[in-house]
């Protein structure tokens, strides 16, 4: 009998996208009366909702087997976990930002500064790398409100830069990029049964992520135009071709990268394709 797999789900910024990813993979997460312990529709699996930084810590000590967290917190906490999958969801950058009025010649002033951040290890390493004369102040959220009265510089994550701009802050350096990733504890990754189940989870999540990047293009082509139409369709391996009823041409379909559609559709039409249909995909397993 399989042992229980302990999975940690993130609370906060990453929560919505992770739950949507799981749902699209056919995995239901149902709230329960226990609040932070929802039901999850994976056999022999228990879920718990934690803050991403706590997920990283729990994975490192082995009290959780697998969980979602940002690469920023793995780097900050500097603990041993095994990266299983970079989902690419909720991409952010960890940046240093300061009020524009503080800059001197486009750079930070050469005086003692106060640097505020939730990321103590990464921020202090940045201070040392930049050769700054600075004092570090630990924050507990809402870091962007510290300047100018309580800090000169902040080190914080940003997705679009809009929050920084709203607080009259200018990015002066980028420390790293981050995204939501699936991690496992070293113990679970080394356990054959748990690793198999973790890899199965990775497989179904990857199938959704790959499907989001592609669309199904279906097109009809005559026998004379078939090769040209197939050549115009970028696909995972080869396009699927089947004869139309009455042998009156062929139906061609391929899973095409979504971002190539503006070039693919005109190219297929120019090659002689007709009756072009573009449809969404739910999952792709190569």
Q: Kindly state whether residue 286 falls inside one of the protein's structural domains.
A: no
Query: Tens digit of pLDDT for each residue in 241-254?
Result: 999 998 889 999 99
Q: What are phi and psi of 188, to 5 degrees?
A: -65, -40
- 3-state per-residue secondary structure call for 159-194: CCCHHHHHCCEEEEEEEEEEEEEEEECHHHHHCHHH
The upper half-sphere exposure of residue 46, i.e. CA atoms within 13 Å in the direction of its Cβ, equals 11
Q: Do 258 and 213 touch, CB atoms closer than 8 A?
A: yes
Q: Which residues contact 134 (CB under 8 A, 6 or more apart)?
A: 112, 113, 114, 115, 127, 152, 153
Confidence of residue 235 (pLDDT cuts 50, 70, 90): confident
Average pLDDT over residues 112-132: 96
Cα distance between residue 3 and residue 132, in whole Å: 51
Residue 236 has pLDDT above 80, yes or no: no
Q: How many domains does the chain have?
A: 3
Q: Which residues contact 285 (CB under 8 A, 6 or more apart)?
A: 203, 207
Confidence of residue 106 (pLDDT cuts 50, 70, 90): confident
- If asked whether residues 82 and 202 sit together in one domain, one would say yes
SS3 state of residue 77: helix
Q: What are phi and psi of 280, to 5 degrees?
A: -75, 155
- Percent of the chain residues past pLDDT 90, beyond the cut: 86
Q: Do 211 and 256 touch, CB atoms closer than 8 A?
A: no
CATH for 267: 3.30.70.120
Tokens of 109: 């002033």
Closest CA to 78 of 125, 148, 131, 110: 125
Give the per-residue pLDDT at 209.
97
- If asked whether residues 194 and 134 sit together in one domain, one would say no
CATH for 46: 3.40.190.10
Cα distance between residue 68 and residue 8, in whole Å: 7
Residue 102 per-residue DSSP state? G
Give the per-residue pLDDT at 33.
74
Cα distance between residue 121 and residue 45, in whole Å: 34
Average pLDDT over residues 188-208: 97
Cα distance between residue 27 and residue 7, in whole Å: 13
Closest CA to 63 of 75, 78, 50: 50
- If asked whether residues 185 and 170 sit together in one domain, one would say no
Confidence of residue 2 (pLDDT cuts 50, 70, 90): low
- If asked whether residues 44 and 186 sit together in one domain, one would say yes
Give the per-residue pLDDT at 32.
81
Give the per-residue pLDDT at 26.
96
- If asked whether residues 187 and 50 sit together in one domain, one would say yes
Q: What are phi and psi of 204, to 5 degrees?
A: -70, -35
Average pLDDT, the chain: 94
Q: Out of 5-19, 58-72, 122-136, 234-248, which region has the weakest mean confidence (pLDDT)?
A: 234-248
Q: Kindly state whether residue 117 falls inside one of the protein's structural domains.
A: yes
Q: Kindly state whether residue 199 falls inside one of the protein's structural domains.
A: yes
Burial tier of 259 (Cβ tally within 10 Å: 0-12, 13-18, 19+): exposed
Average pLDDT over residues 227-235: 91
Q: Out of 27-36, 72-81, 94-103, which region has the weakest mean confidence (pLDDT)?
A: 27-36
Q: Hey, CA dihedral for 48, 53, 54, 57, is it positive or negative?
A: positive
- If asked whether residues 10 and 151 sit together in one domain, one would say no
Average pLDDT over residues 44-72: 96
Beta bridge partners of 282: none
Structural domain span for residue 263: 214-279
Give the per-residue pLDDT at 283.
94
Q: Which residues contact 223 (CB under 8 A, 6 or more apart)?
A: 249, 250
């Amino acid at each position: 009998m399989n042992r229980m797999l302990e999975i940690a789900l993130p609370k906060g910024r990453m929560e919505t996208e992770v739950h949507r990813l799981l749902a699209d993979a056919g995995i239901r997460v149902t709230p329960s009366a226990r609040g932070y312990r929802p039901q999850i529709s994976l056999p022999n699996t228990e879920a718990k909702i934690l803050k991403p930084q706590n997920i990283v810590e729990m994975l490192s000590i082995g009290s959780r087997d697998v969980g979602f967290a940002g690469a920023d917190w793995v780097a900050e906490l500097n603990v041993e976990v095994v990266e299983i999958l970079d989902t690419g969801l909720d991409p952010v950058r960890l940046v240093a930002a300061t009020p524009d009025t503080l800059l001197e010649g486009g750079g930070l002033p050469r005086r003692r500064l106060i640097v505020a951040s939730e990321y103590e290890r990464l921020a202090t390493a940045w201070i040392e790398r930049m050769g700054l004369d600075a004092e570090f102040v630990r924050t507990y959220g809402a870091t962007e409100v510290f300047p100018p009265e309580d800090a000169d510089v902040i080190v914080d994550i940003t997705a679009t830069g809009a929050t920084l701009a709203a607080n009259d802050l200018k990015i002066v350096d980028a420390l790293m990029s981050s995204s939501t990733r699936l991690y496992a504890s070293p113990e679970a990754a080394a356990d054959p049964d748990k690793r198999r189940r973790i890899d199965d989870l990775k497989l179904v999540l990857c199938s959704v992520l790959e499907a989001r990047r592609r669309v199904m293009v279906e097109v009809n082509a005559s026998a004379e135009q078939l090769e040209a139409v197939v050549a115009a369709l970028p696909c995972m391996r080869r396009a699927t071709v089947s004869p139309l009823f009455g042998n009156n041409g062929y139906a061609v379909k391929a899973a095409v990268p979504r971002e190539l559609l503006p070039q693919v559709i005109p190219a297929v039409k120019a090659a002689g394709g007709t009756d072009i249909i573009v449809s969404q995909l739910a999952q792709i397993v190569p």
